[in-house]
Amino acid sequence: MATRATETYRLPAASMANTRSLKILRYGARADGPKAYIQAGLHADEAPGFLVMHHLIRALDRIDARGDISGEIVLVPVANPIGVSQWRDDWLQGRFNFSDGINFNRRYPDLAATVAGRVQDRLGDDADTNIRLIREACGRALDAIRPEDETAHLKHKLMKTAHDADIVLDLHCDHQAIMHVYIGASLWPAARDLSAWMGASATLLADDSGVTPFDEACSRIWWKLAKRFPAHPVPPACLAATVELRGLADLSHEMAAEDADNIIRFMIGRGLIRGAVADPPALPNTATPLSAVEHIKSPVPGVVVFSKQPGDSILAGDVVAEVINPLPSKTAERTHPVRAAADGFLFARSADRFARPGRILAKIAGRKPLKNKGANLLTL
């Protein structure tokens, strides 16, 4: 018998006569095995995740009809009903909240200190018991938060739905990019099956990116508590990752169906779905530190002509792009080359072709850390 159930969560009204709601799909039951939580469209202008969800629901419905769900799989196919309504000048803008300008994937709650206070006298020698205690404490810590506005309610509901999952996948994309994954350094290399199945050309590792995106809010608490309580076993019990499904316009049924199939294969390997699966393929590239990602920026305004594309290897000193300002000037050249500072490979670049000083034009995965601990390792 099919197990799929749908919850509709109504967000509090932010304006008179208007309310929005969040739909949450659940397959299987937590009592039967591990829990996976997958969401798409937290950045509501990133289309590929929605299409992967479409194919994932189709595949899971078939698996569910066969009775092969062996845990709980929770999907939030449209995770940001606020962002998907933010049309402006005929352009959907779903990355930053129109009401306060804040990125929808930043500033999630850090529950570590509150949970530490709740569990410090209760942790023991058994890792599974500690996991259960910490998850319960996380749930209670979230229950104690009183969100103030619609966006805070949305973020809180997403966290509440995901906080006790073994696996959390947040589906995103970059502007023009190859497949890549952001994940906690403490989850590596145990999570290499995720990157391998997704065919991630870059896996970028950080235990603290400095801005608490959704995946990190779910996973970072585990290594923070492990550090705080070294006498007790506290494993990294939530494999949370941000999966960047290539670029904004990389949308086809073939690609999305393959991505959904790869998520299914990953979940079979992780015991959420009954079935046989081969070993994951070889990883295209080894994982590298997020702190070694070079953000290529132009110091001048103009239009951008890229000389490198996603997937290209880069050597220090290579010209990644030229920024052209067609106006003649006595003090500046009309052509300004923008060079990479370190070796690596280009995994993402901007989709439009305008530069202004400080704007990120491209991202290069290097090997040697370029930024200090505590710095913001992500973008705005």
Q: Nearest distance from residue 259's CB to Zn ion, in Å?
A: 15
Among the listed ranges 37-45, 80-88, 276-284, 299-307, the one in contact with Zn ion (CB under 5 A) is 37-45
Q: Nearest distance from residue 301's CB to Zn ion, in Å?
A: 26
Cβ proximity to Zn ion, 33 vs 94, nearer residue: 94
If one asks whether residue 265 binds Zn ion (CB under 5 A), the answer comes out as: no
Cβ proximity to Zn ion, 70 vs 105, nearer residue: 105
Among the listed ranges 130-138, 164-172, 302-310, 355-363, the one in contact with Zn ion (CB under 5 A) is 164-172
If one asks whether residue 43 binds Zn ion (CB under 5 A), the answer comes out as: yes
Number of residues that bind Zn ion (CB under 5 A): 3
Q: Nearest distance from residue 43's CB to Zn ion, in Å?
A: 3
If one asks whether residue 106 binds Zn ion (CB under 5 A), the answer comes out as: no
Among the listed ranges 113-121, 135-143, 170-178, 371-379, the one in contact with Zn ion (CB under 5 A) is 170-178
Cβ proximity to Zn ion, 47 vs 296, nearer residue: 47
If one asks whether residue 172 binds Zn ion (CB under 5 A), the answer comes out as: yes
3-state secondary structure the chain: CCCCEEEEEECCCCECCECCEEEEEEEECHHHCCEEEEEECCCCCCCHHHHHHHHHHHHHHHHHHCCCECCEEEEECCCCCCHHHCEECCEECCCECCCCCCECCCCCCCCHHHHHHHHCCCCCCCHHHHHHHHHHHHHHHHHCCCCCCHHHHHHHHHHHHHCCCCEEEEEEEECEECCEEEECHHHCCCCHHHHHHHCCCEEEECCCCCCCCHHHHHHHHHHHHHHHCCCCCCCCCCEEEEEEEEECCCCCHHHHHHHHHHHHHHHHHCCCECCCCCCCCCCCCCCEEHHHEEEEECCCCEEEEECCCCCCEECCCCEEEEEECCCCCCCCCCEEEEECCCCEEEEEECCCCEECCCCEEEEEECCCCCCCCCCCCCCC
Binding mask 45-74 for Zn ion (x = CB under 5 A): -x----------------------------
Among the listed ranges 18-26, 168-176, 216-224, 347-355, the one in contact with Zn ion (CB under 5 A) is 168-176
Q: Nearest distance from residue 361's CB to Zn ion, in Å?
A: 18
If one asks whether residue 153 binds Zn ion (CB under 5 A), the answer comes out as: no
Among the listed ranges 1-9, 36-44, 204-212, 220-228, the one in contact with Zn ion (CB under 5 A) is 36-44
**Residues making contact with Zn ion (CB under 5 A):** 43, 46, 172
